[in-house]
Structure 1
Amino acid sequence: MSTALRASQRGFGLVELIIALALGLILILGVTQIFVGAKQGFVVQQSAAAMQENARFLLGRMARELRMVNLFGCLDLNRLPAPVAATVPDAFSRPIAYEDATLTLLTAVPHAQTISSPTTRNASDFGARWLIVTDCRTADNLRIGTADVPVGPGDILIPIRQLEYSLHNHAIRARINGAGNRETLIDGVVGLDVSFAMAGSSEEPHVSGGYVSSVDPANFDRIRSVRLALQLSDNPSDPDAGSVQAATYSLVTTLRNRTP
């Protein structure tokens, strides 16, 4: 066999093999780093998007309920004769309350029903806690109850439900009408702050001063708007250790018929 043929058939040497393995390892490490970086970026973007969606869902839901607080159609509970006002449940004097990390609201349940003959109705028929029955003409005909409330032709029914939004174990949970288990709406919650913008008096339409964190029941008529501040994190027990920086989402909701 000639020298040229033997040279053409010679394989890789040890040094060449080591260099090839080193270059392959560097290439694999580079591809791995790119893959890990892309995955981490995807996880961060997904966490941030989930936080934004949770905030949008919860704040939008709470804002809709806040706009319905203390709206009873043709009925003004603040202008009832004393004997009739004495029959109104005590909870109606405080349709908005925020205590012990729980926001409690009393809201009307939208519905349309025509009463054609005398009968009775229950608040539970409308998913409500109380049922207001009125003819919108005479305060003496006002009836408020929970079960077997008498109704007749010409009566207007206004179901009232009680909503509770509470913060517990880094989750916002909801309950309707003060009964049953609380349903988890979102998790990853660091904190929820509720504050109120107040007018100087019940007759003034404009806010005077800043926001306050609590309101005396006697001053409910002075509330003009409610500010919700929701802080979220993908690691709510230690926000600084999360993959996404904790974010605060705020929303201000004006109560209907309270501002010009």
Structure 2
Amino acid sequence: MIRADVRGASGFGLIELMIALALGVILILGVTQIFIGAKHSFVVQQSASTMQENARFLLNRMARELRMVNMFGCLDLNRLPASVAASVPSAFAQPIAYSDGTLTILTAVPHAQRFSVASTRSASDFGARWLLITNCRTAEDLRIGTEDVPVRPGDVLIPIRQLEYSVQEHSVRARLNGSGNRETLIDGVVALNVSFGLSATVDEAHVSGAYVSAIDPTDFPRVRSVRLELQLSDNPDDPDAGDVRAATYSLVATLRNRTN
């Protein structure tokens, strides 16, 4: 009689298979958890980096415009004859204004063209709202307009544009020359605060006292600098619930022709 010896037989039983499946599931869950954590860290780092880049872009842009306020090259609007000063637009009396959350800035558009023959030019030719034309020799020879302003040989053109910055729907938006749609510059904005550093008198060059959040046209001759404070979050509706802590960025822009 032949007996089969099965003592050496081996293989996977049901218990071993269940253990293997359980270990596989645990391993997959562990890898998935690591992947989710790594992805979340990447998203958080990306959000923080985007916030910093947005703040740098916006504050540098606004500061560049603010530093050029009230600079008209060879032209000094404060020393014009009364007959000529009467033709200057009233908006020029306050080239920096902040009202109802909108910052308005008047700046000259860089332009170096000189004319050798008589012609006419319009502010729209230079993306500006107003056009100042002078020969830089006599204050009486100043022409200001928007359309078809006469140009003589040797004249210098000073295009003036109006920029508006405001916060709408958690975005900083800009508009040029007081018309058209507002262009979105950055998103994720919790707040944009603007304050002004004033000197004690018109003749002093340095800021005296604390910054103020509002000015009127009579204060502008004493404005020496403008402080911008920008608060950003990846969840501007509820900054405390965001993945990234809300960050505040600030920058002080000094008016170049007002301080020593």
TM-score, normalised by the number of residues in structure 1: 0.96
1:81 deviates by 1.7
Cα distance in 1 for partners of 2:202, 2:173 equals: 32
Cα distance in 1 for partners of 2:42, 2:19 equals: 35
- Name the SS of the counterpart of 1:25 in structure 2: helix
1:29 deviates by 1.5
Cα distance in 2 for partners of 1:229, 1:8 equals: 80
Cα distance in 2 for partners of 1:227, 1:240 equals: 25
- Name the SS of the counterpart of 1:230 in structure 2: strand
- Name the SS of the counterpart of 2:57 in structure 1: helix
* Corresponding residue for residue 202 of structure 2: 202
Cα distance in 2 for partners of 1:228, 1:42 equals: 30
- Name the SS of the counterpart of 1:207 in structure 2: coil
Cα deviation, 1:130-164, whole Å, max 9, x if unaligned, reads 00011122121111100111110121110000001
Cα deviation, 1:197-249, whole Å, max 9, x if unaligned, reads 11001100111101100111111111111111111111111111111111111
Cα distance in 1 for partners of 2:71, 2:189 equals: 30
* Corresponding residue for residue 87 of structure 1: 87
| Counterpart amino acid of residue 168 in structure 1 | Q
* Corresponding residue for residue 55 of structure 1: 55
- Name the SS of the counterpart of 1:192 in structure 2: strand
* Corresponding residue for residue 68 of structure 1: 68
Paired residues for 1:1-260 under 5 Å: 2-3=4-5, 6-260=6-260
**Structure 1: where are the runs of 5+ without partners?**
none
| Counterpart amino acid of residue 101 in structure 1 | G
Cα distance in 2 for partners of 1:75, 1:83 equals: 16
| Counterpart amino acid of residue 56 in structure 1 | R
- Name the SS of the counterpart of 2:210 in structure 1: strand
| Counterpart amino acid of residue 167 in structure 2 | L
Residues 244-253 or 76-85, more deviating: 76-85
Cα distance in 1 for partners of 2:31, 2:4 equals: 44
TM-score, normalised by the number of residues in structure 2: 0.96
1:53 deviates by 0.9
| Counterpart amino acid of residue 129 in structure 1 | R
Segments of 4+ moved more than 6 angstroms = none
1:18 deviates by 2.6
Cα distance in 1 for partners of 2:7, 2:80 equals: 111
Cα distance in 2 for partners of 1:253, 1:111 equals: 23
Cα distance in 2 for partners of 1:106, 1:125 equals: 17
Cα distance in 2 for partners of 1:8, 1:59 equals: 79
Cα distance in 1 for partners of 2:42, 2:127 equals: 42
Query: How many positions carry a matched residue from both structures?
Result: 258
Cα distance in 1 for partners of 2:145, 2:9 equals: 101
**Structure 2: where are the runs of 5+ without partners?**
none
1:26 deviates by 1.7
1:7 deviates by 3.7
- Name the SS of the counterpart of 2:211 in structure 1: strand
